[in-house]
Amino acid sequence: MILTDLDPTLVSEQLLAWYDKAGRSLPWRGTSDPYRIWLSEIMLQQTGVAAVIPYYERFLTRFPDTAALASASVEEVVELWAGLGYYSRARNLHKAAVALMEEHGGAFPATVAGLQALPGVGRSTAGAVAAIAFGVRAPILDGNVRRVLARLFALREDPRSSASEKKLWIWAETLTPAVRPGDYAQAIMDLGATLCTPRTPGCERCPLEALCRARGLGLEREIPVKQMKNKVPTVLQVALLIGRDGRLLVRRRPLEGMLGGLWEFPSGVVPEGRTPVQTASALGRDFGAGELVPAGGVVHAYSHFRLDLHLFRAEVKETTRIAEEGESRWLTPAELSDWPLHGAHKKALPLL
């Protein structure tokens, strides 16, 4: 935890000099607008830059400021988010916008504590917004920064352990300069994203190579210490492609919970001791569906389980058992291609 011979000023100076020459050009750079910075930081949680950019641009077109985002429905926000994953971020984004309008008159708090009080904003995100938008000397610790610091200080422990977490935050805070803290935050994130990468770090081009203890010890590929991965369970489900007059039935998922607010084909988990066919037949009876025809399957990976989805086609002649208002729609395959289905069911479209 002690910095010993590592000079924080030297670290920040060399990193900022490198950033001035090699920093990435990104849509949310070159602005001090806290709304745009906050939006980008929320989107970048768990998601890479390349995937975020088109969503970020679409969001700004639709919701150019806090007031526009707060006045939208949460369903609109979730639908525009569809495909970006980790949908609680979208719901918290809307909650935070509403809170900003109701409690702060639409203005962002300029402190880490004030920002961290907003829904979906953790310590690192609050630090990034405070540093970049308001020039506050605030540390950050996202995945890229965690990796840079673990190598810089040759951390030979699990970087996600509580003991390591304390060390990493102390190091992050000590190294963050009072001058240009926003540029420093973006510089160290860029370093982790472009040079200090997980598998093949570009140490020979790194501005901190001479200071990096992992590099000096020849451990840059062994640090950070890899975590033991738990076996990911498989969940077996069925989904019904219920047709009527060339259209298929989809329903919106409950707003709260996993994939909340997105749309899907009628589906259900296959109970233990039952087969997909038996489960699909029981589900089909609830809709008055006729004969079920197997329509293939898809596999989709989530962060904590693997989905094995079996698909069945069925036709209905009358819809007295199916509500056609509210959270159900009959859509053509062409309409479904642009509809905010969640990822697993989006994969089913080519099977139509």
CATH code at 10-140? 1.10.340.30
**Residue numbers of the chain with a pLDDT score lower than 50:** 1-2, 324-325
Would you state the pLDDT for residue 121? 97
Would you state the pLDDT for residue 325? 45
Domain range list for the chain: 10-140, 141-175+195-228, 234-351
- What pLDDT, in 10s, does the model give residues 150-176? 999 999 998 889 999 999 999 999 999
Would you state the pLDDT for residue 1? 39
Would you state the pLDDT for residue 322? 58
Q: Check if 141-175+195-228 and 234-351 are the same fold.
A: no
Residue 106's Cβ-side half-sphere holds a number of Cα atoms within 13 Å equal to: 9
Picking from 239, 243, 246, 250, the residue whose alpha carbon sits closest to that of residue 316 is 243
- Looking at domain 234-351, which of 3.90.79.10, 2.60.120.260, 2.60.40.1190, 3.90.1300.10 is its CATH number? 3.90.79.10
Return the CATH fold of 141-175+195-228: Endonuclease Iii, domain 2 (1.10.1670)
**Which residues lie below 8 Å from residue 294, measured CB to CB, with a gap of 6+?**
277, 310, 311, 312, 313
Tokens of 313: 């086609």
- What pLDDT, in 10s, does the model give residues 190-247? 999 999 999 899 999 999 999 999 999 999 999 999 877 778 899 999 999 998 888 8
Q: Do 241 and 314 contact (CB within 8 A), yes or no?
A: yes
Would you state the pLDDT for residue 60? 97
Catalytic positions, please?
Answer: 41
Tokens of 7: 């000079």
CA dist list (Å): 152 to 80, 166, 224, 231? 39, 16, 10, 31
